[in-house]
Amino acid sequence: MDSDGRCFYKNPAYSDSIFMVRIGKKLYVMKGGEIVKDSTKAYEVSDFSRLPKAELAVLEKYQGQHCIYSPIRYTGELEDYNLPIYVNDDGSVFEGTMNRGESVVHIKYGVCLEDLSPFRREGKEWYYTAATEAGSMAWETYTLNNRGSYSIKRTMTFSWDNNMKLGKFMDASTGKPVSGDCICCYDAPSTGEKMELYFCFKDGKLVTGKRVFRVASRSITFYYEPDTGAIDYMDFYRNIIKNL
């Protein structure tokens, strides 16, 4: 096997396989042992195992987030879920902004951030990705209590301006900013599907990075992705959901 992965075409098992590899300083999508060339579409990738550890971790986080946020969810192992990857003409992953329909979307590691979460971070600001003009919304949320159960129910409201920049997340009943690890329940604007997403808030703002939640004699570690605010679903699924 060559270090760049391109010898896999010699093995019939990889004839139709789509996976990602690093060649030099770039990440590439490969199909049947050959680098893909069509930049007009996204390639459905589920195999990131040949990537270096750091990039594997990022793509697995995105894979889990896309699976949960996608209108068509995969009901088996998250590792088998296909993540759409956009590429350049040479097959390397695309990064930057691109037009998709009437919207401008943001691509990182070949992945559209708008497909991972209703929120996107740019610098110190957060933006709502599911709208094209100023507005507001109310979500039903359940906050983690000190026994490790999402049982504190409230209605959370938030708004955004014409640039989709978010204000604070507020408790509708008290008028105070929301804090805590929450399950957020709402109807997806594009499909009307019932969604349940996990986020963390402090003083009405999204919190990212590692969070350690202590319950009685044990602790639970959550990781919230810095680009989207969404929980690391792969870690959450492997270490918590599968062990319940």
Q: How far apart are CA 152 and CA 213, in angstroms?
A: 16
Q: Determine the pLDDT at residue 244.
A: 47
Per-residue pLDDT at 224: 92
Q: How far is 63 from 114, CA to CA, in rounded Å?
A: 13
Per-residue pLDDT at 239: 63
**What per-residue confidence (pLDDT) applies to 186?**
79
State CA 108 to chain mean position distance: 11
pLDDT on residue 15? 56
Give phi and psi for 242, each to the nearest 5.
-70, -15
Flag residues of the chain having pLDDT under 70.
Answer: 1-15, 70-80, 148, 188-191, 216, 237-244
Q: Are strands 194-202 and 205-206 parallel, antiparallel or unpaired?
A: antiparallel
> Under a CB-based contact definition with an 8 Å cutoff, are residues 70 and 52 in contact?
no
Domain locations in the chain?
6-115, 119-243
Side chain identity, residue 226: P
Please state whether 109 falls in left (phi above 0), alpha (psi between -120 and 50) or beta.
left
Q: Which two tokens stand for residue 23?
A: 């060649």
